[in-house]
Amino acid sequence: MSTVLVIGVGDLGERLAAGLAGNPAVGRLLLAGRSVPAVAAAATTVLSSHDCLVEPVRLDALRVEDVASLLATSRPDLVVQCASRRSPWELVGRDDPAARAVAAAGIALRLPYQLAVPHALMRAAREAGFSGPIANLSLPDVTGPVLAALGLAPTIGLGNASVIQLRARAAWRATHPDAAKAPLIRVIGHHAHVYGVMQADPPTDPDHRCRIYVDEQGNRDDDLAYQAPGLAPGQRYNHVTAAAALPVLAALLPDAPPLRWSAPAPHGLPGGYPVRIHNRTVALDLPPGVTAEEAIAFNQRMSNGDGVDHITAAGTVHFTPACQEAVADIAPELAEPLPIDEIDTRAARLDDVLRN
């Protein structure tokens, strides 16, 4: 029976914890977070719903030494990173100028909120000598390549490309109601595609759509990603994200059967790709005729939709002109290049701007 450590018990963290607790291969689940009441409530909810040992753990996931100690003492078979400084849904419903400007800049502008915890976790894993798989939910399409540049890439990301895959499968099933099972569907796409896919709103330029490959032969059908019924942005997306992430987590457990899926940031690559997970390792599973270089270049271009112009070999994030323009009248310094050692300062500045 496996031990799984889940860091972060917000809405998605608790959903993933519940899904893992229902997996018969998981015998012990550690739920870790900064808020004692929140962690206790989540643990109690999960253990009351499933036949699994669930333990609440108070953890400040930004403290590298504390995370390293927990990894060394608990020796989990899998770590699931769900924590961030602030929820990506925080600006939903706000209509003040600062919130509008920051939202219009693209989610990469809020990278300091999403990068801090996975950065601390990966440093802690290195310090503790932890070599097991680590799955990161926190904006993996962008945080993954930053961490990879620092030699700290998580094993794989969660959500995003997996969500697109589920949406494409739903659309395929709607037109093949009598089929026993859906065909293999492989996705090459970026987080920047997800909102359009979820709202059934494809980009005008076909070259900017995520790439969908059907069957072993990899027949292209990009429209399939945009044909399921649209769903307005909001926390309902978390239900789909959890459903998309749980097969990946199950496949990373010891003795799990192989899985062919699509997922973001395998080994820190930008964007999402088809992958094969077997023996707790992750490898690309690209369609015939598609090279890794081509897939990576496509996702790097699509990262502009999140506000990323490029990421340097040192992990410094440069933002697009559109991102810079969006906050030019509010706080232009927010869109200056972001090196890893400035994420705390930039997060504090974001806090100041969004409080006004």
- Environment class of 308 (CB within 10 Å of its CB; exposed 0-12, middle 13-18, buried 19+): buried
DSSP per-residue codes, 65-80: HHHHHHHHHH--SEEE
Element (H, E) at 220: strand 219-220
Q: What is the pLDDT of residues 290-310, one digit of tens each?
A: 999 999 999 999 999 999 999
356 within a domain of the structure (yes/no): no
H/E run at residue 338: none
- What secondary structure does DSSP assign to 91-158, as a single string? TTT--SHHHHHHHHT-GGGGHHHHHHHHHHHHHHHHHHT--S-EEE-SSHHHHHHHHHHTT---SEE-
Indicate whether 342 belongs to any domain. no
Residue 22: C-alpha distances to residues 26, 43, 48, 236 (Å): 8, 13, 11, 21
For the question of whether the overall pTM of this predicted structure is more than 0.85, the answer is yes
Q: Is the pLDDT of residue 332 over 80?
A: yes
pLDDT value, residue 287: 98
Work out the pLDDT band at 58, boundaries 50, 70, 90: very high
Contacts of 55 (CB under 8 A, 6+ apart): 28, 29, 30, 31, 43
Query: Which percentage of the chain shows pLDDT scores above 90?
Result: 97
Residue 356 has pLDDT above 80, yes or no: no
What's the mean pLDDT in 336-341? Answer: 98
* pLDDT tens-digit series, residues 17-52: 999 999 999 999 999 999 999 999 999 999 999 999
Contact 93, 269 (CB under 8 A): no
Write the DSSP symbol of residue 288.
T
Residue 343 lies in a domain: no
CB-based contact 188:211 (threshold 8 Å) = yes
**Residue 46 CB partners (closer than 8 Å, separation 6+):** 14, 17, 18, 21, 29, 31, 52, 54
- If asked whether residues 64 and 95 sit together in one domain, one would say yes
Contacts (Cβ under 8 Å, ≥6 apart) of 348: none
- For the segment 308-322, the average pLDDT, to the nearest whole number, is 98
Q: Which of 157, 187, 203 is the last residue of a domain?
A: 157
Task: Output the pLDDT for position 1.
Answer: 87
Asked if residue 289 and residue 181 are part of one domain, the reply reads yes
Q: What is the pLDDT of residue 235?
A: 86
Say what the pLDDT of residue 93 is: 85
Specify the pLDDT at position 352.
96
Question: CA distances (Å), 59 to each of 5, 6, 39, 67, in order?
Answer: 11, 11, 10, 7
Task: State the CATH number of the domain containing residue 59.
Answer: 3.40.50.720
Average pLDDT, the chain: 97
Inside any domain, residue 98? yes
Encode pLDDT of 181-238 as tens digits: 999 999 999 999 999 999 999 999 999 999 999 999 999 999 999 999 999 998 899 9
Same domain, residue pair 167 and 293: yes
Largest CA distance in the chain: 56
Clarify whether residues 102 and 25 are in a common domain.
yes
Instruction: Give the separation between CA 62 and CA 146, rounded to whole angstroms.
Output: 17
Query: How many structural domains is the chain composed of?
Result: 2
- Confidence grade of residue 129 (pLDDT, cut at 50, 70, 90): very high
Residue 58: domain span = 2-157
Compute the average pLDDT of residues 276-291. Answer: 97
**60 and 149 within one domain:** yes
CA distances from 67 to 33, 83, 171 (A): 11, 13, 41
> What pLDDT does residue 110 have?
97
d(CA 76, CA 102): 37
